[in-house]
């Protein structure tokens, strides 16, 4: 494993030393297309992301070309100029520039990952050679995540058998929704929802989206070995659909399914994700009955917003919540029978407590979360911001704007609200196994622990939900629905469940 990590040092430094990381445009112009092609093919205009690389060479190219662009050189013709991977400026017919980019190696495995690198959109990868070199060397020498990759399952989950039953008839009200009534699970969010690095055994694998392990959208392993919301719900409804499986990007349907989360996303990106999600729902009428089926939409967002707030103070917590609200409203306008579960903002100041004793994490976080590493931005300021973002999220639920019909509501799950300490061992040291190798994203163990607390929150009445957890300790045994109110809890059924009670199926 040490040899592997040293090899990753070389790979990381190699890619960091090429213009591919920050040498490409922040976004494509309207007259440019993007895509991947094989090095053996002619350059074509491409408007979808596909990879036709030679698996033996593991070589793809991404091309930015205008509609009228004539063929431009192949990667093989540019090796001397771009050193196997990187971007090169090429002239369009009108004289302006677009970029020709190619990659070789690990970063080509996932086309969307490389596209994000090439387009430099919210990328979690340092642009400082020394930073990433120090980080990687330290990981190689001092850490060995592959030997410490842990997980948490719930092999003996049981409740009163009647609580596993669906309703006697399909509920007409979202406030009468039993866990077994949910037919589809969906998700919006950022890299934590995409589960970047959840199964990573080395630093470079942070780029991979382990969607099948995501706490609110993954279906890998089964509940016995890995706790996620879908894995729990499958115990109530074995025909549950929409959860992610395996590793891949949001545009790979057999992996992502109804998890539309995009790594690097901020709240303003959720509306685009919502549109993508609606398109996916409408594209599979043979699986999804839009009108009749009940759907759970999990949302978790905010880390990237908070990480860059010190540079963009105009992006207020209210703006943050309004942008989430826009996405939710789009879902409400286009998708009937949805209960939205919004996981409240995580306290980012706890990351600083990890940095105190983890030198390599501190080095990486300089680029991964700028405000967290900005010494002029105090922990008190970060905490105040996160509290304000949590309060703004709560107003989405309490405002009543999403409670105007019986088939839709929003519930905020606040278990992160007062959780400001990282997971620790009994001796006070930080339990790094909760995190991926970048000490920022959750490991598969972290996802499982978070899922156990989210499930508990979902079954707790509004106003009495847990608002503080120990991050390193799972909520076990897993919660069961309340026998007197066996529904996913909402504002209305928390106030008076008797009004919404319906019998279970025989």
> Tell me, what's the pLDDT at 356?
63
Model confidence at 258: pLDDT above 50:
yes
Candidate list 175, 441, 447, 453, residue with the active-site label: 441
Model confidence at 37: pLDDT above 80:
no
Q: Indicate the pairing of strand 294-300 with strand 338-343.
A: parallel
| Calpha distance 128→115 (Å, rounded) | 20
477 preceded by cis ω (within 30°)?
Answer: yes
> Tell me, what's the pLDDT at 360?
63
Minimal CA–CA distance to 94: which of 77, 71, 69, 73? 69
Same domain, 482 and 381: yes
Q: How confident is the model at residue 312 (pLDDT cuts 50, 70, 90)?
A: confident
**DSSP states of 338-351 as a string?**
EEEEEEPPP-TTHH
Cβ-proximal residues to 34 (8 Å cutoff; 6+ apart), any chain: 28, 46, 47, 49, 62, 63, 64, 115, 118, 119
Same domain, 150 and 285: yes
What is each CA distance from 133 to 5, 9, 10, 129, in whole angstroms? 12, 7, 9, 6
Catalytic residue check, 365: no
Same domain, 214 and 287: yes
Please state the pTM of the whole predicted model: 0.75
Burial pattern 312-349, b for ≥16 Cβ within 10 A else e, equals eeebebeebbebbbebbebbbebbbbbbbbbbbbbbbb
What is each CA distance from 74 to 33, 66, 497, in whole angstroms? 17, 16, 66
Mean pLDDT score, 101-124: 39
Catalytic residue check, 191: yes
Catalytic residue check, 305: yes
Residue 81 lies in a domain: yes
Phi and psi at 294, nearest 5°, equal -85, 140
Q: The domain that contains 178 carries what CATH number?
A: 3.40.50.1110
Q: How confident is the model at residue 8 (pLDDT cuts 50, 70, 90)?
A: very low
Q: Which of 100, 127, 154 is the last residue of a domain?
A: 127
User: Which has more pLDDT, 19 or 310?
Assistant: 310
The full 3-state SS of 271-284, as one line of letters, equals HHHHHHHHHHHHCC
Same domain, 284 and 338: yes
User: Which has more pLDDT, 58 or 411?
Assistant: 411
Residue 48 lies in a domain: yes
Same domain, 99 and 160: no
For 53, the domain range is 13-127
Same domain, 282 and 241: yes
> Tell me, what's the pLDDT at 364?
65
Model confidence at 40: pLDDT above 60:
no
Residue 7 lies in a domain: no
Mean pLDDT score, 29-56: 32
Mean pLDDT score, 438-453: 96
> Tell me, what's the pLDDT at 341?
99
Same domain, 357 and 450: yes
Mean pLDDT score, 266-291: 97
> Tell me, what's the pLDDT at 367?
62
Residue 8 lies in a domain: no
Residue 425 lies in a domain: yes
Q: What is the H or E stretch that residue 23 is in?
A: none
Minimal CA–CA distance to 250: which of 294, 206, 188, 198? 188
Mean pLDDT score, 296-304: 97
Same domain, 116 and 207: no
Q: Which of 96, 127, 158 is the last residue of a domain?
A: 127
Same domain, 151 and 39: no
**DSSP states of 70-132 as a string?**
PP---GGGSHHHHTTSEEEEEE-TTS-EEEEEEEESGGGSSHHHHHHHHHTSS--S---HHHH
Model confidence at 113: pLDDT above 90:
no
Mean pLDDT score, 426-452: 93
The pLDDT tens digits for 162-195 are 999 999 999 999 999 999 999 999 999 999 999 9
Model confidence at 357: pLDDT above 90:
no
Residue 6 lies in a domain: no
| Calpha distance 280→251 (Å, rounded) | 10
Candidate list 136, 176, 191, 244, residue with the active-site label: 191
Same domain, 348 and 317: yes
- Give the percent of the chain with pLDDT over 70: 68
Domain count, the chain: 2
Same domain, 170 and 104: no
Q: What is the H or E stretch that residue 214 is in?
A: none
Residue 245 lies in a domain: yes
> Tell me, what's the pLDDT at 369?
79
| Calpha distance 483→486 (Å, rounded) | 5
Q: Which of 75, 100, 127 is the last residue of a domain?
A: 127
Same domain, 121 and 157: no
Candidate list 305, 447, 453, 494, residue with the active-site label: 305
Residue 292 lies in a domain: yes
């Amino acid at each position: 494993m040490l040899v592997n990590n040293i090899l990753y040092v070389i790979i990381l430094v190699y890619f960091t030393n090429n213009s591919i990381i920050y040498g490409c445009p922040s976004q494509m112009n309207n007259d440019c297309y993007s895509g991947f092609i094989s090095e053996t093919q002619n350059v074509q205009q491409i408007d979808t992301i596909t990879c036709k690389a030679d698996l033996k060479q593991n070589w793809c190219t991404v091309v930015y070309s205008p509609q009228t662009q004539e063929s431009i050189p192949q990667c093989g013709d540019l090796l001397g100029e771009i050193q196997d991977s990187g971007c090169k400026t090429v002239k369009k017919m009108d004289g302006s520039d677009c970029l020709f980019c190619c990659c070789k190696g690990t970063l080509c495995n996932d086309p969307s990952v490389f596209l994000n690198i090439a387009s430099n959109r919210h990328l979690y990868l340092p642009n400082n050679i020394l930073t990433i070199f120090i980080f990687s060397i330290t990981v190689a020498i001092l850490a060995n995540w592959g030997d410490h990759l842990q997980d948490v399952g719930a092999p003996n989950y049981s409740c009163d058998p009647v609580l596993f039953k669906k309703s006697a008839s399909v509920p007409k009200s979202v406030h009468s929704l039993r866990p077994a009534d949910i037919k589809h699970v969906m998700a919006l969010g950022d890299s934590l929802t995409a589960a970047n690095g959840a199964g990573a055994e080395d630093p470079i694998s942070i780029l991979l989206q382990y969607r099948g392990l995501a706490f609110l959208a993954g279906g890998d392993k089964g509940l016995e070995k890995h706790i996620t919301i879908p894995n729990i719900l499958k115990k109530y409804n074995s025909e549950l659909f929409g959860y992610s499986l395996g590793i891949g990007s949001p545009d790979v349907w057999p992996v992502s399914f109804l998890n539309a989360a995009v790594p690097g996303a901020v709240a303003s990106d959720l509306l685009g994700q919502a549109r993508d999600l609606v398109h996916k729902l409408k594209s599979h009428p043979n699986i999804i009955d839009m009108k009749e089926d009940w759907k759970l939409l999990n949302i978790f967002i905010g880390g990237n917003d908070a990480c860059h707030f010190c540079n963009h103070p105009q992006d207020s917590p209210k703006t943050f919540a309004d942008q989430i609200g826009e996405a939710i409203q789009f879902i409400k306008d286009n998708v009937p029978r949805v209960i939205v579960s919004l996981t409240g903002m995580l306290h980012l100041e706890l990351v600083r407590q990890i940095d105190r004793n983890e030198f390599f994490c501190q080095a990486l976080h300089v680029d991964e979360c700028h405000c967290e590493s900005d010494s002029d931005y105090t922990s008190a300021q970060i905490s105040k911001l996160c509290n304000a973002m949590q309060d703004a999220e709560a107003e989405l639920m309490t405002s009543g704007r999403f409670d105007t019909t019986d088939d839709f509501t929003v519930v905020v799950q606040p278990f992160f609200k007062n959780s400001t300490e990282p997971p620790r061992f009994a001796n006070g040291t930080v339990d790094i196994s909760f995190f991926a190798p970048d000490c920022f994203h959750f490991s598969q163990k972290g996802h499982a622990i978070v899922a156990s607390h989210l499930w508990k929150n979902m079954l707790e009445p509004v106003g009495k939900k847990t608002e503080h957890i120990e991050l390193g300790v799972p909520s076990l045994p897993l919660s069961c629905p309340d026998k007197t109110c066996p529904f996913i809890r909402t504002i209305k059924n928390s106030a008076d469940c008797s009004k919404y009670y319906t019998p279970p199926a025989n």
